[in-house]
Amino acid sequence: MAEGFRPSQPSGARRSPFAGNLDRVPVKIAPSILAADFAHLADEVARVAAHVDLLHIDVMDGHFVPNLSFGMPVIASLRAATDLYFDCHLMVTNPISLFEPLKAAGANLVTIHIEVHPDPTRAAATARDLGLDFGLVLNPATPFEGVAPFMELCDLLLVMSVNPGFGGQEFISSVLSKVEAARKLVEGAGLRADIEIDGGVTPETARLARSAGANVFVAGTAIFGSPDPVAAVDRLRAAVDGME
């Protein structure tokens, strides 16, 4: 596994006695390369690598969402340039078909949309068999009840706070109730899945998400759109570190 990140729950260990307060759940910052300068992608990643915990990679197929983004050659090239943990968010209609090539390219975690696989049991098993960590994604309009029965399968739950497919959108605050429900389930059931928020994340919205129970913060424009990405990471971490 790449350095710099460890899932809060190791693969294969679905339960733990964890039921700690929020201040015991580690904060993790995940810059999204969708907002980086593609002409200098390795340099952009290297600039922030020592200051972040993992790298968020949005894989789009032009079907589940209108845009196309990164294929295996880009991910493999980045893997040769960094040992950051690769969190691959699959905005695609056939995610299982990508698991094996993603693993070969250097992915560590795959997250798939519950809207694509309402029963993700087979997808989770396929990911595990390949040595990948596994997670689920909820769009803003999808209720938490869609993923609740499958939280034991997850190393990470990603709650989208924008509609998927485009960067630079405004944070949708109504999704915070789903973050709260996820945190309550994780702690009440003794699970150790990370809870990630993605979309419109700034120091101000990150504080809201942290208060609701998120511990992994995806930020693209707020980091790579800043004149000083490292300072932007530091501001984001300072906004959420130490909150209870």
In 10 A of CB 203, how many CB atoms? 16
What Cα–Cα distance (Å) separates residue 46 from each residue in 38, 40, 50, 63, 177? 13, 10, 8, 31, 35
Burial 207-230 (b: 16+ CB within 10 A, else e): ebbbebbbbbbbbbbbbbebeebe
Beta strands in the chain (DSSP E): 28-31, 54-60, 85-91, 109-113, 133-138, 156-160, 194-198, 216-219
Judging by beta carbons within 10 Å of its beta carbon (0-12, 13-18, 19+), is residue 4 exposed, middle or buried? middle
Question: Could you list the active site residues?
Answer: 58, 198
Residue 7: Cβ within 10 Å count: 24
3-state secondary structure 13-64: CCCCCCCCCHHHCCCEEEEEHHHCCHHHHHHHHHHHHHHCCEEEEEEEECCC
Residue 89 · residue 198 · CB < 8 Å: yes
Which residue type occupies 204?
E
- CA 220, CA 239: separation in Å to the nearest integer? 16
